[in-house]
Every structure is written in C-alpha cells, then in structure tokens.
Amino acid sequence: MGNTAQHLYIGIDPDVTKSGVAAWEKDTKRFRMIESMYLGDLIGYMEDHKHEIALVVIEAGWLNSGNRHTFKGQSIAAAAKTGQNVGRNHQRGMDIVEIVEWLRVPYQLRKPTTKNSWKDSEETFQKITGTKGGNPEKRDAAMLVYNI
C-alpha cells in the first residue's frame, strides 16, 4: 500500500460543460494541476486520488440569495437564457456534491466571492501564486484551495 496521507485539496468551480478544477498539495504548497474537466473526468480524477484527498471545496452559487444576472438593456429572452444557464450550473454543483458524498470524500461548500482580482486577471493570479491559472473558471477553482 502506498502513501495514504491526505494532503490534497480539490477546488471546483462547477459548470455544465467543463468545471474548473484545481488540486492543491498542502505539503509542497503547490498546485498539482489546474484544469477544466468534464464531469466524467472529474469523477475519475477523484476516484483515482480519493486516498489523498483531505477536502473538496465546491463553489456553491446556489447558497447566494437573489441570484440576479441581468444587465441594463438586456432583453427578456436574454435574461431568461442567462437564468437558465445559471440554474444549470447550480444543478451541476449539486450533482458534484452528491458525487463526493457517494465517494465519501470530505467536502465544504463555499459561496462565491464578489469581484476578485484572481478571477479577473491572469497576471494578478500569477503574481500571487507563481502559477499559470488559465481561464477564470480554473482560477476560481484554484482560489478556493490556494494556501489552505
């Protein structure tokens, strides 16, 4: 049997298509990976590394009260489509919760933070972490577990 120390912290920014996923190694204080993953790949990754996972942190937008994603001048149809997409992402997050419970992996839900410089700027992310983050979803996932 190999090393069973639980030192891996997984951050997940749920998305219907590909979720942002980051794996932070507490003992080496570095990211093992920052990726976008389809749900099946995410499940496979967590199964493969289950023995190492100390905690999965899932961004839980559904915990925010009053999710309004409308913009001035936006048509009703566009607002409805935005609402539908947000709802689908929330459902994907709830699906991920169900999966980590099934895997019996410890997890924590975290409300999304308001505007942050990590998500909005790759340059800022690199300055803080010393690592490339990629797209905003990947950086958001990384932000959930960085320096935990």
pLDDT digits 0-9 by tens, 54-92: 999 999 988 886 545 555 665 665 555 555 556 667 788
- Asked whether 46 and 93 are in contact (CB, 8 A), the reply is no
The helices-and-strands tally (H runs, E runs) of the chain is 5, 5
Give pTM, 2 decimals: 0.82
Q: What's the CATH number for 8-145? A: 3.30.420
**Does residue 115 surpass a pLDDT of 60?**
yes
Name the average pLDDT for the chain. 85
- Asked whether 107 and 58 are in contact (CB, 8 A), the reply is yes
pLDDT at residue 119 in the model: 72
- Asked whether 86 and 140 are in contact (CB, 8 A), the reply is no
CA distances from 27 to 5, 31, 63, 99 (A): 10, 11, 31, 26
Name the residue ranges covered by the structural domains of the chain. Answer: 8-145
Consecutive H or E run containing 35: strand 30-37
Q: What tokens were used for 22? A: 């980051």
- DSSP state, 113? P
Distance between CA 140 and CA 119 in Å, rounded?
6
